[in-house]
Amino acid sequence: MIKNDTNKAGMIASKPQFFMLHQIKVAAIHTRFDNVQWFVWDAGVIDELTGHPEVVGQYETEDEAISRAKYLADYYEAEFFFD
């Protein structure tokens, strides 16, 4: 389990994990609360306000975030296959 550091709120707390040839990224983020939050980013969708990959999920656990990332990877692979 990754220990949250409230002094680092908003900073990456874990080594990122990548899916779909680096299109989808999962990482823990330090928060100002008790626990880190797990985020999922999709580099295929750019946030219009920030110009960075869009956050497509925020989760309490690493398992939930990885599950979402795998779901997206499977979805994109199926979509590409049928194009």
Residue 76 included in any domain: yes
Q: What is the pLDDT of residues 38-79, one digit of tens each?
A: 999 999 999 999 999 999 999 999 999 999 999 999 988 877
Residue 1 lies in a domain: no
Number of domains in the chain: 1
* Distances in whole angstroms, Cα of residue 38 to Cα of each of 19, 75, 77, 83: 15, 20, 23, 32
Is residue 42 in some structural domain? yes
pLDDT band at 1 (very low <50, low <70, confident <90, very high): confident
Q: Is the pLDDT of residue 83 over 60?
A: no
Handedness of CA 69, 74, 80, 83 (dihedral sign): negative
pLDDT for 16-35, tens place per residue? Answer: 999 998 899 999 999 999 99
Whether the per-residue pLDDT at 3 is higher than 80: the answer is yes
Residue 53, in any domain of the structure: yes
| Structural domain span for residue 72 | 6-82
